[in-house]
Amino acid sequence: MRRIPTTANECGLVEYKGPFEKILKTAKYGMYEKVLQDLVDGLLECHHEKILKYITGIHGGVFIPVPLHSARLRTRGFNQALLIVRALARKYKILINTSCVIRNINTPRLAGLNKMQRAENINGAFKVVAQVPQSCVLIDDVYTSGATLRELSRVLLNHGAERIHTFTLARRWYNGARDLKNLQGGP
C-alpha cells in the first residue's frame, strides 16, 4: 500500500533568503565544513528555546539525516544533514539513526529546478536497508520545495514508520506564504 507522506511536526529555524542563503550555499557547495559547523552551532544556540520546544513536542522520535549518495559525499567531503544531526545530538542527547536508509541514486542537484522537476528528480532516490523507527525526525539543511523530505517520508512510511517529523535549519517560503506553526516548530 502506498502511503501519502505527511509530517506531524515541522521546524525550520530561519527563513532561507538573503545573507543566510548565501552563507549556507557558500559553506555547503564550497565545501567549507568548518564554516557550516560554526553556523549550525550558532543557530542551535540562538534558537535553543524553539528547538527544545520542538524536541519535547515530538515525544522521542529518532533523528535521521537525509542521506547523500556516496559519490556526492566523496565530492563534498561531508553530509550537511549528518553534521546538523550530530550537533543536535551533542546538545540535546537525541537518538540518531544513520543506517536505516541510503540514497541509492546519485540525483543531480535540485538547486535551480522548479517544484515539479525537483519531485521527478528525487523520485526513487532512497532505499530502506534496515529496520525503520516508528517515529522519525528527518533532518536536512534547507526545506525549499519539500521534494526531498516528501520522498524520504514516503519511503519510510512505506517501510513501517508511523510518524514523520522534519527539522531544517532554514525554510523557503513561496509566494510570501508563511505558516507560523511551522516556523515556530510546533502546533
- pLDDT tens digit string along 162-186? 999 999 998 877 554 444 344 333 3
**What band does 7 get if pLDDT is binned at 50, 70 and 90?**
low
Taking the mean position of all CA atoms in its chain, how far away is CA 148? Answer: 8
Minimum mean pLDDT among 122-126, 139-143, 158-162, 168-172: which range? 168-172
- pLDDT tens digit string along 28-63? 888 788 888 998 999 999 999 999 988 888 877 899
| Nearest Cα to Cα of residue 126 among 114, 138, 111 | 138
CATH 3.30.70 given to domain 9-175: no
Residue with the bigger pLDDT between 12 and 153: it is: 153
Residue 113 pLDDT:
77
- pLDDT tens digit string along 62-106? 999 999 999 999 988 899 999 999 999 999 989 999 999 999 999
Q: Are 54 and 185 in contact (CB under 8 A)?
A: yes
CA separation for the pair 138, 36 (Å, rounded): 19
Looking at residue 59, what DSSP letter applies? Answer: T
Residue 1 pLDDT:
44
Looking at residue 110, what DSSP letter applies? Answer: -
Q: Are 41 and 90 in contact (CB under 8 A)?
A: no
Examine the pLDDT at 156 and tell me if it is beyond 90.
yes
